Amino acid sequence: QVYKAHVNWLERALYSFECACHPLFSLTSGTSRLDYLRTENRAFYLALYKHMMFLEKRGCPRTALEYCKLILSLDPDADPLCMLLLIDFLTLRSREYQYLLQLHQDLEVHRNLCLLPNFAFSTALCHFHLSQQEDVDPEESEKDRQKADQMLEKALIMFPGVLIPLLDLCTVQPDARVSSHAFFGPKSQIGQPPALAELTALYVGRTHSMWRETAVMFWLEASVKEVLRRVDAKDPLVDDCQNKKQRYKCAPRNIHRHVLLSAIKEATSSLPLVRSDHQPVKHNITDYKLWEKVSLSRNILRNILDRYPLKLNCITFYNFEQNDLSLNDKCVLTLKTYTRCLIFHP
């Protein structure tokens, strides 16, 4: 009952936002932009996100995916809610494998998606599922399987700290050789930079159910054995991936904001301890500061008028129809004039 009440109020909030939209503002065009730095837009972002997660929990991943695309389209450059960390999960749930692969191809050059664990593993999983489809040409299926093997091995080499937590959540006991090896052992998790540990915990906590299938687990096992062979053979790719980990020094604020909104305990426990909330932005854009100053001047003038009433002919009022003075300046000038009258007309 509480869940239904939450959904009801959330739908009312979205309806209120829709009524307040400009007639030329179109959510379906893909060209509408909303700056998250503005306080007024923030509630709309959060309402869309909450509604999207409700849809996913109600078994509507395809609709939730469209909402995810919508949120991303409102500010694709800044991505304030970091929807790129979620879109792969909804794509896999919706079985829209080609869309995720095309998105990865389009954004890889500009956004370096290969540095995100969710894209590294999810794109490999997409190729694997495409290779398992029965209505696909055998040659295409074989190409997808080879591509899946290559991408999964590269993902495991780049993010070895994903394997053991993933197997734990899937209730799978790793092989003794795997758990005792230095590459996948506890050292791989302890030695991760905090930002990378946050990303891996988020991915494992969100998508571990995707890896529980028997066919997927056998495929993962074969890839892990191949990775161990390449590590023992001192493959140059291993050293190259280890050097890239130096880039994960500090996670940006939108990733922290996304982790808080996700409420995934594996990820929230890895957040850095800070005194302030991560959800607000550091530099707000607001139009209320000028009016706060004007209100302050008005309050001061009103208090003086209440305490020291004067005859109206004692005050020289300025012409408030002048366009070269702001409202704040006019209040200040009136205050100065009134103070002068207090001095010469006791």
State the total domains in the chain. 3
175 & 231 share domain: yes
135 & 225 share domain: yes
What percent of the residues of the chain are helix, what percent strand, and what percent coil, each to the nearest 5?
A: 70, 0, 30
269 is a domain residue: no
138 is a domain residue: yes
86 & 127 share domain: no
Q: Which two structure tokens, joined as six digits, stand for 43?
A: 């509630």
Split at pLDDT 50, 70, 90, the class of 114 is confident
What would the mean pLDDT of 167-195 be, rounded to a whole number?
86
141 & 187 share domain: yes
98 & 118 share domain: no
Domain that holds residue 319: 289-344
Lowest-pLDDT choice from 93-102, 199-208, 268-277? 268-277
Distances in whole angstroms, Cα of residue 53 to Cα of each of 5, 61, 79, 242, 279: 15, 9, 17, 35, 17
Q: Which two structure tokens, joined as six digits, stand for 292?
A: 């706060």
294 & 282 share domain: no
282 & 332 share domain: no
Residue 177 has pLDDT above 70, yes or no: yes
3-state secondary structure of 52: helix
132 & 97 share domain: no
95 & 158 share domain: no
CB 120 within 8 A of CB 154: yes
71 & 117 share domain: no
299 is a domain residue: yes
48 & 14 share domain: yes
DSSP 105-134: HHHHHHH-GGGSHHHHHHHHHHHHHHHT-T
Residue 31 has pLDDT above 90, yes or no: no
Separation CA 58–CA 222 (nearest Å): 35
Q: Which two structure tokens, joined as six digits, stand for 38?
A: 């503005």
What would the mean pLDDT of 288-316 be, rounded to a whole number?
54
- pLDDT at position 283, please? 66
Distances in whole angstroms, Cα of residue 308 to Cα of each of 261, 281, 311, 312: 54, 44, 10, 12
155 is a domain residue: yes
130 & 201 share domain: yes
198 is a domain residue: yes
User: Per DSSP, what are the bridge partners of residue 285?
Assistant: 38
3-state secondary structure of 58: coil
258 is a domain residue: no
User: Per DSSP, what are the bridge partners of residue 38?
Assistant: 285
CB 279 within 8 A of CB 257: yes
183 is a domain residue: yes
Lowest-pLDDT choice from 109-118, 306-315, 331-340? 306-315
CB 71 within 8 A of CB 83: yes
Separation CA 41–CA 202 (nearest Å): 26
- List CB contacts of 246: < 8 A, sequence separation 6 or more: 193
222 is a domain residue: yes
